[in-house]
Structure 1
Amino acid sequence: MPIAIVSLASLLGCLIVTTMLATPTKTAPRYTVYRTPAFRSVAAEPSHAKLLLKSMPPAAAPSANNIVMMNNKPNEVMPEYYISASLPVASQGVVRIKMTNPMSKFRIYINSKSESSAGVTPLYCLEVNETSVILLNHNNDALTSVLASTSDRKAVREKNNDVYYWLSLDKKNSVLKYGKGEATQALTLLRYDVPVGAFLPDLKYVGLSVSDTKIMTKVLIYELPVTFQLPPNVISSDLVTLDDIENGLITTIGNLPTECQMLYSVVAGPNVVLQNDIATAIQLSLKSGELSKFLVKKAQDHKCKLTETYIRVTLGMDQGYSPGIPFVLELWPTGHNSPIHQHSGAFAVIKVLHGSINCTYYSDLNPAITTPYLDCNFPTGGVTYLTPSLYQTHMLKNKSTTDFCATIQCYRYASDDTTHYEYFDYLDDNNKRSRFAPSTDFTYTELKNLLKKEGLLKKMK
């Protein structure tokens, strides 16, 4: 039987379970499994956001013409190693697995028992190989076991890369989905609609054909399946209309995790604004004053492009629950942008105080992934968010040619995260993964003092 050793640490706002796999021939390896609370959602894909990757249509029923040909050994089965963590709800949820440089095909199993199916007992099986991805209902190579498949190059196994592969079971809607990166509707690469009444019941146990922990490094289990794409646009519950609920174009803070709600309660109020005289002073200083000179020096010090710099103005002190000081006013000159980056596996809320900010979202922080799957623009007053498992990887850019942008960013680790990774990982100018510790360019008081010294701000605020 599998053995579970449970700790309270968490990197993604969830319970870490260090597991040992049941293995038929040798000592079981250890894995790290994260069980993540699911979000409540009222929304579908937002119309204001441009989806850059199309979701796959329902797969056709298997036939000799639309499936990938299998091995000619129909009774050959692959190994099944089962972890101690299981789906919270039978036949429902998502299993998301990080694979590092897999050199051969692998399979993910969802079974009704934590023991080998021997290729006979029905289960749901996902095979990912170099040329195709296949959904099966048995762990064998029989043509009759194939439910659906795709040879889309975006879907297949990647060598020399760290990639999350996920499988979603949705028993209520009788749908199986597969994708890469974040487990979202927009990143679905294969879908199969199970015939009504044929969805396999009582599937809870998660297994893999891989036993090497250097290859399979993380397993994340989500309670809810991939259905709607929770929009990145947050509005006050006071503004929600019946049409908003019907159309699913927005979400409210009540649909988001507690950590996001805590941050939102601080910055969402009507008085958290950038006053006009301060905004005017910042604009002038960014154009030809001390803030402009500061950015030139910052680009030289960091050996990066000038357009990849922005100013971090911190408010308050580091209270220990976030990567760096939790509240940061960021100033974005015209045409400036961040690199593609992540946020320490933390939660965040972003509010636009002046101008507008463009956000492009990526399935993961990976040198091979430079094409976003979602593109959104947030105007003054707009609010967005990110979580450890949704919208965690993005790039911000001020696309305006005439006005700067100011955003207030706030961060918070998951309540049960005892790791507190203190860095933001990003892709540098050489498309290499790097990291930086969130720092302070100015405090808010120092910024106002500088603007006053320049003669751009007549009195302190």
Structure 2
Amino acid sequence: MWKINYAKVRGVFDDPVQLFDQMCQNLDEEAHRSRLSSASINDTVSTPKCIAIKIHCLFRNEIKSYCQPNISWCPWQTSGCTPSLPIKGQGTIEIWQHESIPFELRISNKQDPNDNTTNSYAIILKVDTREAQLGTVTVQDGHVLRVRDNTTEPHQVLQMDDGHWHCYWLTFYGGHRMVQYGIGEIRPKFAILEAHLEEQDKASIESISYLHMKINNNIDNKTMEHFKDKLKIFIGSEPVIFDPPLLVIAPAEFSPTHPKNTNGVLESLLKNPCRNLYHEVITFTLKDNSFPNFIETIEQSIRSQNGWCHRKLKEKVNQFGKPRYETTYLCITVDQLENGKIMHPCIMKIWPPGHYSPVHNHGDAYGVIRVLHGRLLLKFYPALSINFRQNPSIEQLFEENQVTWMIPKLNQTYQMLNPDMYGSCCITIHCYQYETDDQMYGEHFDFITNDGHHIDHHNYTPDNNYLDFKRMMMMESMHGTAV
């Protein structure tokens, strides 16, 4: 169908990027219709149905798509613990737990998990409080688990009950004969266990069609209904085989041949509400002909003991627990400009040299962050954990005018740092929107306290609003004293 509509679509979307996005959507919808037709012909197992949302981005000079698992599956609303996978030979399974419950995932080419015929093939993930194992079960190994990778590290196995949700994931792709397991956000760089399977197994992996799940070593869903509110399971039709870029690229720079960018998400392909948030922050500027030394005045106010910025920073030393001056930064609400224009509420943050945020998690936020002045180092983590230093991090330095982004379950846990220890301050503008919270446009997050021993919650309290703050800086600039 998409071939038939190509000329029509091309006539509407003359921009090649928009055309690309529309063609991807058409392909996704056609694949979805095909799966529905197949399911109606032979619907022996209840299969959740949902169109996946994809993020199209530039990765190593190629345009690729990243897809989160978003097909919600509940064993207690179906006939058993064996759903069919949306697409043979590939996919991602995500398990969220609010209580520490041992589990086993078996993805196989047989609907019966006990089928031991000669062509049966299964990939197994077993996770409990002592160990996580990733392996295969084949006729060549006597239908006994062959462990391909394992770990007994406490932060890599089943997490202890702590009142928070924990995410465990498995992704596999027959085309690459690859399977990975991780905890937290689904990214290859956050994988804990990994196996690259033999070439002769490729056809068997590509025939995998079913997911079998044991919860607390039990496959009978009726006896496990008391876990119903403590487990969330999501199935994705796509494997996660690359790390989605952190940088948002403007249309003029979105090209595999552009010298500045080899990785990035195109601004116009951001999914709403992120795209709307991007448009709010991208036009904001600190440059003002009537106040040309605005930034210099802010920096002087930070350095001077009588400056408003310095005094406000001193007031905030215990904001994140044990007093620590380096974890202070200023938060200025931006919701109206000098010309009277009303903005979607944003937050301007001012980072003195060497200052940083705690590691924190926004939970379910959509958001964008743009660097207005200076440089910002972002360190992303797979999950919010007291043991975060034991987990791998993804670090990226953002320069002036560069933008990063977040959506629920991706890019949510991070730390911000002004890396210029003895240089300029860093100024950023942030815009958030939450899916489930009454504070739709505010900021709130869970964070690791300054002593590193606890996780606490923070609700945004502004230090000032933008227009009042700017007037105050003008007064300091004119008089050279605190106002």
The reply to whether TM is greater than 0.5 is yes
Q: Once the 2 structures are TM-superposed, how far is the Cα of residue 218 of structure 1 from its aligned partner?
A: 2.7
Are 1:375 and 2:395 counterparts? Answer: yes
Residue among 316, 323, 340 paired with 1:298: 316
- Corresponding residue of 1:117: 113
SS in 1 for 2:232: strand
Aligned partners of 1:37 and 1:223 also within 8 Å: no
Which aligned pairs between 1:335-414 and structure 2 lie closer than 5 A?
A: 335-371=354-390, 372-400=392-420, 401-414=422-435
Are 1:223 and 2:229 counterparts? Answer: no
- Corresponding residue of 1:260: 274
- Number of aligned residues: 381
The change in CA–CA distance for 1:118 and 1:274 in structure 2 (over 3 A counts) is farther
Are 1:287 and 2:303 counterparts? Answer: yes
The change in CA–CA distance for 1:84 and 1:347 in structure 2 (over 3 A counts) is farther
How high is the sequence identity, in percent, across the aligned residues?
A: 22
Paired letter, 1:427: I
Which aligned pairs between 1:13-412 and structure 2 lie closer than 5 A?
A: 37-44=53-60, 82=80, 87-100=85-98, 102=100, 105-110=102-107, 117-118=113-114, 120=116, 122-129=121-128, 130-137=130-137, 144-146=144-146, 148-151=148-151, 153=153, 155-160=156-161, 163-194=166-197, 195=199, 196-201=202-207, 203-205=209-211, 207-210=213-216, 211=224, 213=227, 217-243=231-257, 248-269=262-283, 272-275=285-288, 276-288=292-304, 289-300=307-318, 303=321, 304-316=323-335, 326-371=345-390, 372-400=392-420, 401-412=422-433
**Structure 1: runs of 5 or more not aligned:** 1-32, 47-79, 318-324
362-371 or 285-294: bigger deviation? 362-371
Deviating 4+ runs (over 6 angstroms):
33-36, 418-422
Paired letter, 1:126: L
SS in 2 for 1:198: helix
The change in CA–CA distance for 1:424 and 1:178 in structure 2 (over 3 A counts) is same
Max Rg structure: 2
Distance in 2 (CA, whole Å) between partners of 1:198 and 1:333 is 56
- Corresponding residue of 2:74: none
Distance in 2 (CA, whole Å) between partners of 1:342 and 1:241 is 32
258-267 or 373-382: bigger deviation? 258-267
Distance in 2 (CA, whole Å) between partners of 1:433 and 1:81 is 39
- Corresponding residue of 1:77: none
Residue among 433, 438, 443 paired with 2:465: 443
Distance in 2 (CA, whole Å) between partners of 1:97 and 1:281 is 50
Q: Once the 2 structures are TM-superposed, how far is the Cα of residue 266 of structure 1 from its aligned partner?
A: 2.0
Aligned partners of 2:109 and 2:122 also within 8 Å: yes
Distance in 2 (CA, whole Å) between partners of 1:315 and 1:85 is 48
Distance in 1 (CA, whole Å) between partners of 2:320 and 2:180 is 42
The change in CA–CA distance for 1:216 and 1:404 in structure 2 (over 3 A counts) is same
Aligned partners of 1:44 and 1:228 also within 8 Å: no
SS in 1 for 2:360: coil
Distance in 1 (CA, whole Å) between partners of 2:82 and 2:51 is 12
Distance in 2 (CA, whole Å) between partners of 1:310 and 1:280 is 17
188-197 or 329-338: bigger deviation? 188-197
Paired letter, 1:109: R
Distance in 2 (CA, whole Å) between partners of 1:423 and 1:392 is 12
The change in CA–CA distance for 1:245 and 1:198 in structure 2 (over 3 A counts) is farther
Distance in 2 (CA, whole Å) between partners of 1:148 and 1:165 is 18
176-185 or 302-311: bigger deviation? 302-311
Aligned partners of 1:35 and 1:221 also within 8 Å: no
The change in CA–CA distance for 1:340 and 1:246 in structure 2 (over 3 A counts) is closer
Distance in 2 (CA, whole Å) between partners of 1:85 and 1:345 is 27
Paired letter, 2:424: D
Paired letter, 1:379: E
Paired letter, 1:295: L
- Corresponding residue of 1:66: none
- Encode CA deviations 1:367-399: one digit per residue, 9 max, x unaligned: 122355111111111111122122110000112
Aligned partners of 1:45 and 1:228 also within 8 Å: no
- Encode CA deviations 1:27-76: one digit per residue, 9 max, x unaligned: xxxxxx99963322331599xxxxxxxxxxxxxxxxxxxxxxxxxxxxxx
Aligned partners of 2:256 and 2:262 also within 8 Å: no
The change in CA–CA distance for 1:437 and 1:247 in structure 2 (over 3 A counts) is closer
SS in 2 for 1:284: helix
- Encode CA deviations 1:262-286: one digit per residue, 9 max, x unaligned: 21122223x5345542111111111
- Encode CA deviations 1:318-358: one digit per residue, 9 max, x unaligned: xxxxxxx7411111111111111111311111100001111
Aligned partners of 1:314 and 1:440 also within 8 Å: yes
Q: Once the 2 structures are TM-superposed, how far is the Cα of residue 138 of structure 1 from its aligned partner?
A: 7.0
Distance in 2 (CA, whole Å) between partners of 1:441 and 1:235 is 31
Q: Once the 2 structures are TM-superposed, how far is the Cα of residue 187 of structure 1 from its aligned partner?
A: 1.1
Distance in 1 (CA, whole Å) between partners of 2:142 and 2:438 is 45
384-393 or 422-431: bigger deviation? 422-431
Distance in 1 (CA, whole Å) between partners of 2:404 and 2:174 is 31
Residue among 430, 434, 437 paired with 2:456: 434
Q: Once the 2 structures are TM-superposed, how far is the Cα of residue 202 of structure 1 from its aligned partner?
A: 5.5
SS in 2 for 1:224: coil
Aligned partners of 1:45 and 1:231 also within 8 Å: no
Distance in 2 (CA, whole Å) between partners of 1:427 and 1:249 is 30
The change in CA–CA distance for 1:418 and 1:334 in structure 2 (over 3 A counts) is closer
Aligned partners of 1:92 and 1:169 also within 8 Å: yes
SS in 2 for 1:299: coil
